[in-house]
Structure 1
Amino acid sequence: MNATRLAIVAIVGSAVIAAVLMYYQLVYAGYAELTQTEVGEIQLVSLVSGEPEPVLAENVKAIDTVEEGVRLSGAISFRACFDMVNSQAMLTETYVVAENAVPLTAPRWFDCFDAQEVGAALETGEAIAFLGQKNISYGVDRVVAVMPDGRGFAWHQLNPCGEAVFAGDDAPEGCPDLTEDI
């Protein structure tokens, strides 16, 4: 083998190793499964008070990129699946319905969260999305979607304040004060 071929093999081999390492970091290493205590209560924003209130949820499974209280990546990495005790009809009469809810995909190994299924159900009106908590982190809301069979899903999604600020624009009117730690 001459020096040119050896250099090509070394470059291609390094690229393959780097690609595998990056894939692992994105899909596995950054995420951790959360305990029920770490997730806390599933909450929805009340129509009456405008404040998040706990709702009855069972079998909560969640992932995030937070380790020992330290966020390892962006604030939109949270995903959760659970069984909702209350019906969609009761929820729509009591809690704020979220507009423009778009579930973000989860790693394939977190198989209870199927963003395509939830997104399609939201588009057809089969699932209903609720505001779980406004500005859980600056510019990020927690959204909770509930299917007719009681399956629930939660994720973090940028709100208009976050979309503007993270795009480099000024925050729109009505946004909270911008903090230095974003």
Structure 2
Amino acid sequence: MSGKIIGSLIVAISLISGVAIYWLQLYAFYDPVNAEVEVMRMTNVVTGEAEEIIADDLEGIDANSSPLRFRACFTTSSSLAMLTETYVVHEEPTPLTAPGWFDCFDAVTIGHDLEQGQAVAFLGEKDIRDGVDRIIAVYPDGRAFAWHQLNEKYDE
């Protein structure tokens, strides 16, 4: 009889722990980005400095627990032709997946579109945090998506 109680207790504690870990990973640490405070920047080809770009309808999430948790969706009225002539194109963009509840950011679709040339990735800001760059992908219709990814500091 006591073996059934102990076994049930172990199963119950495991289930509670699993639910808690799931919730912590997907919901607990994310905060909405303040669209009035957050500024989108891209690195200028000539100066190498990050310059503010037009970013309307900004919706984003971030977390203090990791610099890689930043994701944002916005629109820009700047043309893709002007952006490619003015800002550094990023050669190895790797969109990182966002939590399922953050619907505007679909890393798989963005990654596929970047590979197919349907969008262009730019270096937003180099070392926005130590060893982490902000990457911005822009579509011809003005839709844009931003995320953070590790830079060459952490390449093996």
Q: TM-score range by the shorter chain?
A: over 0.9
Return the offset for 1:57. Answer: 1.2
- After superposition, the Cα gap between the structure-2 partners of 1:8 and 1:38, relative to the gap in structure 1 and judged at 3 Å, is farther
Q: Which residue does the alignment assign to 1:107?
A: 99
Instruction: Name the CA distance, whole Å, in 2 between partners of 1:120 and 1:156.
Output: 18
- Confirm or deny that 1:160 pairs with 2:139: no
Q: Which has the higher contact order (CA 8 A, sep 6+)?
A: 2
Percent identity (aligned): 46
- Confirm or deny that 1:53 pairs with 2:51: yes
> What's the CA shift string for 1:123-179, capped at 9, x where partnerless?
101110000000111111000000122110000000011335xxxxxxxxxxxxxxx
TM-score normalised over the length of structure 1: 0.83
Does the Cα contact within 8 Å between 1:138 and 1:162 map onto a contact in 2?
no
Q: Which residue does the alignment assign to 2:62?
A: 64
Instruction: Name the CA distance, whole Å, in 2 between partners of 1:116 and 1:87.
Output: 24
- Confirm or deny that 1:120 pairs with 2:90: no
> What's the CA shift string for 1:24-46, capped at 9, x where partnerless?
0000001011111342x211001
Q: Superposed, which structure 2 residues align to 1:13-162 within 5 Å? A: 13-39=12-38, 41-65=39-63, 71=64, 73-162=65-154
Structure 1: unaligned runs, 5 residues or longer: 66-70, 165-182
Q: Which amino acid aligns with 1:126?
A: Q
Q: Any idea what SS the aligned residue of 1:157 has? A: strand
Return the offset for 1:5. Answer: 1.0
Q: Which amino acid aligns with 1:44?
A: M
Return the offset for 1:89. Answer: 1.2
Q: Which amino acid aligns with 1:146?
A: V
Q: Any idea what SS the aligned residue of 2:124 has? A: strand
C-alpha RMSD over aligned residues: 1.0
Q: Any idea what SS the aligned residue of 2:101 has? A: coil
Instruction: Please list every run of at least 4 consecutive aligned residues from structure 1 whose deviation after the TM superposition is greater than 6 angstroms.
Output: none
Aligned residues: 156
Does the Cα contact within 8 Å between 1:83 and 1:152 map onto a contact in 2?
yes
